[in-house]
A and B are shown apart, each in its own frame.
Chain A
Amino acid sequence: MTIAFDASRTTMPRPTQVSARDLCAHQLQVSPDLTNQDVQALFDQHAKVTSLPVVDNGLPVGLINRDRFLTQVAKPFHKEVYGRKNCTLFMDAEPLIVDQGLSIEALTFQAVASGEKALSDGFIITDDNTYLGLGSGMDLMNLVAELQAEKNRQIMHSIDYASVIQRAMLRTSDQALSESLPTAHLEWQPRDTVGGDFYHFVNRAEGWFAAIADCTGHGVPGAFMTLIASSCLGQALEKLGPEDPAALLAEVNQSIKSQLGQCSTNGITPESDDGFDATFMWFDRRSQALTVAGAKAALFSLSPDSEEVLHFKGDRMGVGHVDTPDNFKWHNQRLFLPPETLVLVTTDGLIDQIGDRKNIAFGKRPIRTLLQNQRQATPAALSKSLLDQLSLWQGEELRRDDLTFFCFRIHV
């Protein structure tokens, strides 16, 4: 049976390197023995032609620009004196000549370096020194813009896809958070669609575990780090359970250092000095105690009977990194927080954001003040106020880092 379908794939588009060849227009060309009269006739005949390449037996000799040529010819007596002379007289003998295989990027740099004329007159494209055609500055700009847009589109598609993976990784934690602390608010804003901040929540009958972490790097490298760190934390939780945050930090430190080749024993200079800052915490429903361990952490708490916002910093030692010892021990602190105590945990993306009229960091003061002034508000309302304040502070400034913060109230 004959199938009415052309299965040949020879005419399908193939990915190729775009080069000068793609700008080649086969326009009029003139030979060097043509006279200026002939050239003028050609320009009169072809009103849209702005430059004429002069080609001698296949080899490019120069380029005649319409405006400059006509200006010359229009001068008194020039027509009479020069009309019968060869057209090479008024041509540019040193136009930009490029090989057809030249990349668009290199061509653009050469065109810009050769001044305005390559953009206004165009440039000659050759194949193995033989004249192939003329490229125009306008077409080059168009192509550059198109390539730029296409490259951006590809990169953004790639990052959007990466973001699907990163958000999928966080979804189980979203679930655990809404079960353990339904009124809590978690803000996770990667600066570049994907980012280096991540969180992890575990809900148990006895209590809940939470981790808020900020990996080195943002964007794609930061997101790579969150995948490694998060998987290390998952394994550590399986091994040690969720009740000892300091031990979990130590366990994750060891596995990150070993996975990234940062251990001191292997004798090779490690390529990656990456790691993360974090707050790990376990809230025990039985004892009502919050056990916290921090690697350059920032946890603020305000109990209902107090005016003072407590700031827990943890140990000033990042998790992972070359110079963090393999066997470093972080410290747990048990905080007995009365019911209704407000807690806010953040990464440095919030505290360090540049803004205001002096272009300085947001700082911790606004966080303290907000907790004091809005101590009755829900975590969601507080978080909204905080974001509004940050946005006001940030103004026209760009976001400097990923931003994550977690706000909750202790409930019996």
Chain B
Amino acid sequence: MNHLRIPASPTTPEVEFDFSAHSLAIKGESYPENASAFYQPIIDATRAYLAECGGSAITVNISLGYFNSSSTKLLFSFFEALNNSAADGNHITLNWFYDEDDETILEFGEDIQEDFKSLDFRSQIIELG
């Protein structure tokens, strides 16, 4: 699979994983009734992709305004897969987008940075417009 694309719904984010371009993006909000059913296939596809990557420069763009606690657990599994792969030699940049007034999302980013040290974590303020 070279491309994983899931359009956004009111309770699930847009997923745009262009594996051949080493570009993974998640954008929107996340509070599905069954978070595991939504995220597990995404995590599995990511793991399969990472297993085939060696020494690649991968860019991950995350712009999430809200995610519930079940989604948080699964997002952390996703970041953990990325972190393990980064520790194994891929260079993974994680751009964590937040609104400059959104301390909640900023703090989440800080937690991720603290937990997943192999990722090249970059806090990015969302530009207006």
Contact = CB atoms under 8 A, between A and B. Distances in A.
A351 interface: yes
Interface stretch (B50-58, B66-74, B87-95): B66-74
Size range of the interface on B? Answer: 10 to 19
A358 B101 contact: yes
Nearest to B68: A401
Given A360-B104, A361-B66, 19 more contacts: A277-B69, A321-B73, A348-B69, A351-B104, A352-B104, A354-B65, A358-B99, A358-B102, A359-B65, A360-B65, A360-B101, A360-B105, A361-B103, A361-B104, A364-B103, A365-B103, A400-B29, A400-B68, A401-B68
Interface stretch (A40-48, A212-220, A377-385): A212-220
A319 B66 CA distance: 22
Interface of B: 29, 31, 33, 36, 65-66, 68-70, 73, 99, 101-105, 111
A334 interface: no
A318 B111 CA distance: 14
A362 B65 CA distance: 11
A360 B102 contact: yes
A248 B32 CA distance: 31
- Of the listed residues A277, A351, A400, the one surrounded by the most CB atoms of chain B closer than 10 A to its CB is A400
A401 B103 contact: no
B42 to A, nearest CB: 15
6 contacts: A216-B70, A219-B33, A354-B66, A358-B99, A360-B105, A364-B104
Contact of B36 (A273, A316, A354): A273
Interface string A247-258: 000000000000
A217 B104 CA distance: 20
A363 B73 contact: no
Nearest to B10: A398
Interface residues of A, number: 26
Contacts of A361: 65-66, 102-105
A334 B59 CA distance: 44
Contacts of A216: 69-70, 73
B66 to A, nearest CB: 5
Given A273-B36, A400-B31, A316 B102 contact: no
Nearest to A218: B68
Contacts of A348: 69
Nearest to B66: A354
A348 B99 CA distance: 19
B99 A360 contact: yes
8 interchain residue pairs of minimum CB distance: A361-B104, A360-B102, A360-B99, A216-B70, A354-B66, A363-B103, A363-B104, A216-B69
- Of the listed residues B36, B102, B105, B111, the one surrounded by the most CB atoms of chain A closer than 10 A to its CB is B102
Contacts of B70: 216-217, 274
Contacts of A318: 69
A400 B36 contact: no
Contact of A400 (B66, B73, B103, B105): B66
